[in-house]
Amino acid sequence: MEASGINKHLLSLAFIEGAAVMAVELLGAKMSAVYFGNSLYVWTSVLMVTIAGLSIGYFAGGRITQRYPGKKTLYLIFLSAAILVLVMPKWANIIMQLTMTSSYHEAAVQSTILYLMPSMIAFGMIPPNIIHTLSKEVKDAGSYTGLVYTASTLGGVLTCLITGFYLIPNYGVKFSIYCVALLIIIVPFFYFFKKNILITVAIILVSAFLISDGLSPLKQKKGSHVKIIHKSDGLMGQILIADDLKTQKRSLMINNISQSFMHIPSGRSQWKYIHRVALYASDKPAGSKVLICGIGGGSLINELLALGFIIDAVDIDVRMAEVATKYFGMPENTSVFEDDARHYIRTCNKKYDIVILDMSAGENQPSNVYTVECFKEIQDLMNPDGVLFLHYQNVLEGEGSLAVKSIGKTIIESGLKVKLMNTDKIIDGKKENWTVHAEVMFYASFDTPEFKAKGFDRRNTFADPFNFPKEDGIFLEGYDFSDGILLTDDNPVMDVLHISALEATRQAALYRLIPILVKENIEIL
C-alpha cells in the first residue's frame, strides 16, 4: 500500500467529509434548540438522525459506486452535500414551523429527520466511494478502510473544537453553517474548474445566491410593537432579547424560553420570585456575602445589591453577564465567575451568608448540582447561620411533583432543614391548585428555617403589591418530601423528573411565543 499523491488527496477528502459531518451535526442540534430546546430528547433525535442518515448513505454510496465508479461521481456527491448544507438554515426554519402543531417529541423528531438527514445521507455516500477508488486490490481494502475512517474521524475532532468553541460563539449558527458549506464546495469547485466551466459558474452563482439570501435579515412589519435588540448563539443556545413597545417590557430568552422579564422604565423585574427572594433575604444585614448560581438578566443581583449585599455570581455562559450589564442594568463591576456551578462550589474557599441556586428556568436542569453530595458541599460554603434559596418551577401534586419532592428529600438527606415557601401561586377560586406549573421556592438552613426580622424593614416597598407574608404564612407547612427519590451523583435524574415541566414550558414557547415572532417577521434562526 503506497502513500501516493492521489492517496493523500483522497484521504484529505475523507478528512473534509468527517469534518463536515460533525460540524453539521452540532449546528443542526443548535438549529433545533431554538425551537425545541437543548434537552436530552432533542440531542437523542439529532444523534439518531445522524447515525441513520450516515447508515443509509453508506449503503447507497456502495451501490452507486459499483454502478458509477470514478472520481466524477465522488465530486458530484460532494456538490450535492454542499447544496444540502447551504439550504439547511432556510429549510430548517420552514420545517420546524410546519411541525410545531405536532406534540413536542414528535415535532422534534420529524423536523430533524426532514432538515438534517438529507445532508447526512450525502455525507455517508462519500467514504465508500473513496475506499473503492483507493483499493485497487481486495487485499488493500482493509488497510484503506482504516485510513479513510481515521482521516474522517480526525476531521470530526478538529471541527468539533473549531465549531463549538469558536465559530458558533463568535459568528452564530447561520454564518457557521455557510462556512462549513463553503469548505465542502471547494472540493467539487476545483475539480469542475478543470473539467467543465459551466458547472463551475453554476456552483459560484448558486452558492452566492443561497448565502446572500440566507444572510439577508427579514424585514419586520411596519408598526411592529416587538423590537429585537440582541440575538446571539453560544454555549447554552440562542439568546434573544426583545422589547414590547406597547407594554414597555423587556424579555431575555434562551432558545425561546424566558429567563428574565423587566419593566423598562423602572428597571425592575416583573417576576414575583425575584422580589420574594429579595424580601426574605433582607432578613440578613447589609454587608452579608451572597453566592448566586445563575445570572439570567441580573435582576436578582440588582435587587440584592440595593440591600447592600456583597455578591459573587456564577454562570457557565459568558454572554449572560454581558447582556445583564448592557440591557438589564447589572453593574459592570459585579463579581462574576464564568464557571460551572458545581465546579465553583467544589473549588471555592469562601464563606457565604446566603447561597441562591437560580438555574432552573431553562429546560436543562443542573442535575450535577441537585444531588446530596453537592448540597453537602454547599454546606461547606455556608456560615453557621447561612441560608439556601433554591428557585424551581414545577407542580406540587400530580404528575411532575416527584421532582419537587426529590429535591426536598435530597436537601434533608444532606443535613439541612428545608421548607417550601408559601408562594400562594396557584389559586382556583379559594382552593389552592397544586397541579399547575409555577414558582416553587425552597428555603434551607442548618436549624429549623425561620426569620428574625418580622417586618423586613430594610426592603423597600416595591414588593408590597405582591402581598408576600411577613409574619405568619411565610412557609408552606406540612408538605411531605418523603416520597421523593434521593438524588446522588450516581443517580442524577433531574432531567427525567423535569419532563412534564419541560413539555409545558416548551409547548408554551411553540404555541404562543414563536407564532408571535413568525407573525412579526422576526427571524428565529
- Residue 283 CB contacts under 8 Å (≥ 6 apart), including other chains: 451, 452, 453, 456
Identify the CATH number of the domain in which residue 371 sits. Answer: 3.40.50.150
Q: Are residue 308 and residue 176 in the same domain, yes or no?
A: no
Is residue 227 within 8 Å of 242, Cβ to Cβ?
Answer: yes
Residue 116 sits in the same domain as residue 203: yes
What number is the average pLDDT over the span 83-110? Answer: 84
- Cβ-Cβ contacts under 8 Å for 165 (sequence gap 6 or more): none
Asked if residue 506 is part of any domain, the answer here is: no
359, 434: one domain: yes
Rounded average pLDDT over 225-238: 80
The tens digit of pLDDT for each residue in 140-162 reads: 666 777 888 888 999 999 998 99
Residue 137: predicted pLDDT: 47
Specify the higher pLDDT residue, 280 or 492. Answer: 280
- With beta carbons less than 8 A apart as the criterion, state whether 418 and 412 touch: yes
CA distance readout (Å), 208 to 92, 113, 165, 213: 19, 26, 27, 8
Q: Are residues 194 and 309 in the same domain?
A: no
Asked whether residue 498 is assigned to any structural domain, the reply reads no
Mean pLDDT of the residues in the chain: 84
Cβ contact 7:72 at 8 Å: no
Annotate 480-525 with three-state secondary structure. CCCCCCCCECCECCHHHHCHHHHHHHHHHHHHHHHHHHHHCCCCCC
SS3 of residue 361 by DSSP: coil
Residues 215-225 as b or e (16 or more Cβ within 10 Å = b):
eeeeeeeeeee
> What secondary structure does DSSP assign to 52-68, as a single string?
HHHHHHHHHHHHHHHHS
How far apart CA 352 and CA 381 sit, in angstroms, is 6
Lowest mean pLDDT among 104-108, 187-191, 232-236, 379-383: 232-236
Q: What is the mean pLDDT of residues 467-491?
A: 87
| Residue-number span of the structural domain to which 37 is assigned | 5-215
**Same domain as 173, residue 295:** no
Rounded to the nearest 5 percent, the helix, strand and coil shares of the chain are 55, 15, 30
Q: What is the pLDDT of residues 198-216, one digit of tens each?
A: 777 777 777 776 666 666 6
Number of domains comprising the chain = 2
User: Alpha-carbon distance 322 to 341, whole Å?
Assistant: 18
Convert the pLDDT of each residue in 418-450 to its tens digit.
Answer: 999 887 544 444 445 666 667 889 999 999 888
User: Count of CB atoms within 10 A of residue 373's CB?
Assistant: 18
Angle at 252 between CA 250 and CA 255, to 5 degrees: 140
> Same domain for 191 and 290?
no
Query: Residue 69, SS3?
Result: coil
CATH number at residue 169: 1.20.1250
**Any idea of the CA torsion for 336, 271, 449, 288, to the nearest 10 degrees?**
30
Q: What integer pLDDT is reported at residue 322 of this predicted model?
A: 92
Residue 228 lies in a domain: no
**What's the mean pLDDT in 99-123?**
86
pLDDT of residue 426: 42
In this predicted structure, the answer to whether residue 3 has a pLDDT above a threshold of 60 is no
Q: Which of 48-57, 94-103, 293-302 has the lowest mean pLDDT?
A: 94-103
Q: In whole angstroms, give the CA distance from residue 26 to residue 18.
A: 13
Is residue 502 assigned to a domain?
no
Residue 247 burial by Cβ neighbours in a 10 Å radius (0-12, 13-18, 19+): exposed
Q: Kindly indicate the confidence band of residue 56, based on its pLDDT and cuts at 50, 70 and 90.
A: very high
Residue 114: pLDDT band with limits 50, 70, 90: very high
Lowest mean pLDDT among 179-183, 460-464, 481-485: 460-464
The answer as to whether 516 is a domain residue is: no
